[in-house]
A and B are shown apart, each in its own frame.
Chain A
Amino acid sequence: MPKHSPETLNGAQIVVRLLERQGVRTIAGIPGGAILPTYDALSKSTIHHVLARHEQGGGFIAQGMARVSGVPAVCMASSGPGATNLLTAIADAKLDSIPLVAITGQVPKPMIGTDAFQEVDTYGLSIPITKHNFLVNSADELLTVIPRAFRIAASGRPGPVLVDIPKDVQNQCIEVSEWPEPGCADPVPVPDGERIAQAAAMINGAAKPILYLGGGVVHSSASQLAVALAEKAGLPTVMTLMALGTMPVDHALSLGMLGMHGARCTNLALDECDLLIAVGARFDDRATGKVAGFCPQAQIIHIDIDPSELDKIKTAHIGIAGDVGTVLELLLPAVDSRQRQPWLARVAGLKAEHPLRMPGVDDPRTPYGLIRAVANCLDDEATITTDVGQHQMWVAQAYPLRRPRQWLTSGGLGTMGFGMPAAIGAALAERERTVVCFTGDGSILMNVQELVTAAEENVNVKIVLMNNASLGLVFQQQTLFYGERIYASRFKGMPDFIQVAEGFGVAAVDLDKEDHPLAALAAALKTPGPTLIHASIATHEQVLPMVPPGAANKEMIGG
């Protein structure tokens, strides 16, 4: 610890100093009574505070920053409703393994447990949705808790950490003479070399292997290694929703996304494979379908940084706990260079026979056509976020993602309202990029208030609102699986989204009213600053193919 002359500081000033020392440049949040001392200290800091308009928005802005950078990002809220409003964004970060440090104010210690104004058991509420959490007992404790929160958030499998700080702890003055080192990720234990050798032998001996990449490849910055393994060993490669971008979707070995809305060829190839090499993937039910029917003939190699993921859903023949990048680095020299015919020929045949069908892809007034039109205006430097629903799956299927951390989506929790604030965060963290948020008329309203935050921060966020006047995925499921009994999924009232955006200070363009929608779209995407691009699509459009919930992946409908 470097020595400094002692300073007398209160807890709030200590928090802010520790955040500065941690290298935090931007924080998203909303002040309130119980966090005011910290905001007072923050007012004297060089840290940029982004004033969200709902704590959930603040949480997702922080997530956007964390998802594009891989570095823990910070959100802040007051006690009570401030903290409860943050919970969804924290739970979302937990399920997608996003490093987040949430700092909440709490009522003063003597009032805890008295049902004080704006008191809620933030610690208790956040236990099951955080990687770890703290209720800080003294200003002195902050010197260990804050760096530790960052260390935990970033170590191993990343995740959210919550630090609840009573107001009197924020106000408590102590003398600080030594500052702790910033918290950074712990080294990951070295993987078992013998198992890696066994895995290499299995890959070398397999006739019909498939590489199955998950979000862990993004977190480990291992996409180049994953692509190198696929190329050396001749492995057709599928990606989870979270892994899109790790292998360019137009790579010859890419089979795109697997699972509920994967292409037929992708799920059919998995059905035939004799070896599945899972890398940083957790066999989520949307990826596997009915587990017993997932890769029924395959042996499984499972590589994951989190030992509790091994054998959780499917028993692995070889389970390797370790950083996936490290494991891939050790695995690469041990696998044989293979052309792997006739398996690649068989997969090519499946691709030719059962490709992803994208009806209307040349017409910008259809879902696929609009998504491709947006992509045609941009290069791989653009960052893409989505909300949750049909538009999310269409974009996952059709957008040519080619770069890790290019793709920000709420995968595990599936939170409508994620897209726009996450896009704001992404744009704040990487000012030079264009950030496109694909959203729907259902999702956008769940955090629509952050439009004013986008305007205030003048972020380069383009919101592409695909308006089908319904909760599209609910509408689709009711159509397919509930005898077309459409209930509570079609909106009767419809806001004028152009007026809504303009009312919040965000420019807007309605492609419906443009004679040349492609030109209008290109112009809107090129103009710096936040813009809402509205486009109506038909309510009956479906995301296909679709694996019915609970069915095996080969039992796809449509497509």
Chain B
Amino acid sequence: MNSLVSTENQALARTVLELDVNNHPGVMSHVVGLFSRRAYNVEAILVMPVGSGATSRIWLLVNEDERLEQMVKQVEKLEDVLAVRRHGAEHEVFVRLEEFFR
């Protein structure tokens, strides 16, 4: 976290983050704001309401760099984030989405 120089581009490994969040306007801004203020690019985003729609699930694809641990802790601190789970890049959520981007 000490380095101001982004090493994202060199980093090849990717992580999929799965967030359970309250579903209301502004939650997405809170989440992505944590990344943008650190010049930490979010490669892919997917959001859908879950069940009754009171909560949503956000999927984020991000590059793994030395700031990721701190990012996850910051995301966990948000009031509207109920849970954060980490997956490897092999997680199929974005892989299966790829066909819509051809």
Binding site for B on A (CB under 8 A): 123-124, 127-128, 131-133, 135, 152, 291, 306-308, 311-313
Give 7 closest A-B pairs by Cβ, nearest first.
A308-B73, A132-B79, A127-B33, A308-B74, A312-B1, A128-B33, A127-B29
Nearest CB on B from A160, distance (A):
13
CB < 8 Å A-B pair total: 30
Q: Which residues of A contact B2 (CB under 8 A)?
A: 291, 313
Q: How far is the CB of A148 from chain B (nearest CB, A)?
A: 9
Residue interface bits B33-65, CB-to-A below 8 A is 1, else 0: 100010000000000000000000000000000
- Inter-chain CA distance A133–B30, complex, in Å, is 10
User: Across the interface, do B69 and A152 meet the contact criterion of CB distance under 8 Å?
Assistant: no
Question: How distant is A412 from chain B, measured CB to nearest CB, in Å?
Answer: 15
B85 CB within 8 Å of chain A? no
With A127-B33, A312-B1, A313-B2 known to touch, is A135 a contact of B25 (CB < 8 Å)?
Answer: yes
- Asked if B86 is at the interface of the complex by the 8 Å CB criterion, the answer is no
Please name all residues of chain A whose beta carbon is closer than 8 Å to the beta carbon of B78 when the two chains form the complex: 132
Besides the known contacts A128-B33, A306-B77, 7 further A-B residue pairs in the complex with CB atoms under 8 A apart = A124-B29, A127-B30, A132-B78, A133-B26, A308-B70, A308-B74, A313-B2
Residues on B with C-beta less than 8 A from A124 are 29
A-B contact pairs, 13 of them (CB 8 A): A123-B26, A127-B26, A127-B30, A128-B37, A132-B79, A307-B73, A308-B74, A308-B76, A308-B77, A311-B69, A311-B70, A312-B1, A313-B2
CB distance from A518 to the nearest CB of B (A): 48
Q: Which residues of A contact B73 (CB under 8 A)?
A: 307-308
Q: Which residues of B contact A133 (CB under 8 A)?
A: 26
Mark each residue of chain B from 70 to 97: 1 if its CB lies under 8 Å from any CB of chain A, else 0.
Answer: 1001101111000000000000000000
Q: Which residues of A contact B26 (CB under 8 A)?
A: 123, 127, 133, 135
Range of interface residues on B (Cβ < 8 Å): 10 to 19
Set of chain B residues within 8 Å of A308, measured between Cβ atoms: 70, 73-74, 76-77
Closest to A124 in B: B29
B38 CB, nearest partner CB in chain A, Å? 11
Measured CA separation A190–B22 after assembly (Å): 26
Query: How far is B73's CA from A434's CA once the two chains are assembled, in angstroms?
Result: 42
Query: How many angstroms from the CA of A39 to the CA of B33 in the assembled complex?
Result: 33
Chain A positions within 8 Å of B33 at CB level: 127-128
Are A312 and B29 closer than 8 Å at their CB atoms?
no
Nearest CB of A to B45, in Å: 17
Give Cα distance in the complex from A127 to B74, angstroms.
Answer: 13
Residues of B within 8 A of A128 (CB): 33, 37
Bound CA–CA A348/B44 (angstroms)? 57
**A479–B4 alpha-carbon span in the complex (Å):** 28
How far apart are A345's CB and chain B's nearest CB, in angstroms?
35
Measured between beta carbons, the chain B residues less than 8 angstroms from A313 are 1-2
Contact residues in A for B30 (Cβ distance below 8 Å)? 127
Least Cβ–Cβ distance between B70 and chain A, in angstroms: 6
A152 to B30, CA, bound (A): 16
- Minimum CB–CB distance from A118 to chain B (whole Å) comes to 21
> In the docked arrangement, what's the CA distance between A42 and B31, Å?
35
Closest residue of chain A to B34 (Cβ to Cβ) is A128
Residues of B within 8 A of A152 (CB): 79
Hey, which chain A residues are within 8 Å of B76, CB to CB? 307-308
B78 closest partner in A (C-beta): A132
Give A457 to B30 CA distance when docked, in angstroms. Answer: 39
Residue of A nearest to B30 (CB): A127
Task: Give the nearest-CB partner of B73 in chain A.
Answer: A308
B74 CB, nearest partner CB in chain A, Å: 6
Chain B residues, CB < 8 A from A123: 26
| Smallest CB gap from B69: residue in A | A311
Q: Nearest CB to that of B37 among chain A residues?
A: A128
Contact of B70 among A132, A291, A312 (CB under 8 A): A312
Interface centre among B26, B33, B37 (most CB of A within 10 A): B26
Contacts of B69 in A (CB 8 A): 311
Give B11 Cβ to nearest chain A Cβ, in Å: 19
Kindly state the separation between the CA atoms of A124 and B33 in the bound complex, as whole angstroms.
Answer: 10
Give the chain A neighbours of B70 by CB distance below 8 A. 308, 311-312
Q: How far is the CA of A290 from the CA of B48 in the complex (A)?
A: 44
**Complex: how many Å from CA A124 to CA B32?**
12
Give the distance in Å from the alpha carbon of A29 to the alpha carbon of B30 in the complex.
27
A291 to B4 alpha-carbon distance, docked (Å):
13
